[in-house]
Amino acid sequence: MEEQSFIVRFYRFDNQQPDSTVGTVQAVESSLRLHFTGMDGLWQAMIRLKTCADENKQTQSP
């Protein structure tokens, strides 16, 4: 399993209502940035970014 780093920007966060969290997440080695809403949305966006990075590595391998 390969380590991956992300940049997460929170634009709205409320400890009492984590589903109201809004922001963007970006993989460090990619310019692709995804918007998310809620903590589940953050995890889903991170999984999508990792999947995209894995697919890019497979297509770039000789």
| Joined tokens for residue 57 | 């590595």
- Give domain status of residue 1, yes or no: no
- The number of distinct structural domains making up the chain is 1
- Give domain status of residue 55, yes or no: yes
- Give domain status of residue 42, yes or no: yes
- Give domain status of residue 35, yes or no: yes
- Give domain status of residue 40, yes or no: yes
For residue 37, give its domain range.
6-60
Torsion of CA 23, 20, 15, 44, to 10 degrees: -60
Within a 13 Å sphere around the CA of 45, how many CA atoms are in the beta-carbon half?
21
- Give residue 53's identity as a one-letter amino acid code: A
| Joined tokens for residue 26 | 């970006």
- Dmax over Cα atoms in the chain, in whole Å? 49
**pLDDT tens over the chain, length 62 residues:** 578 899 999 999 888 887 889 999 999 988 889 999 999 999 999 999 988 877 777 776 56
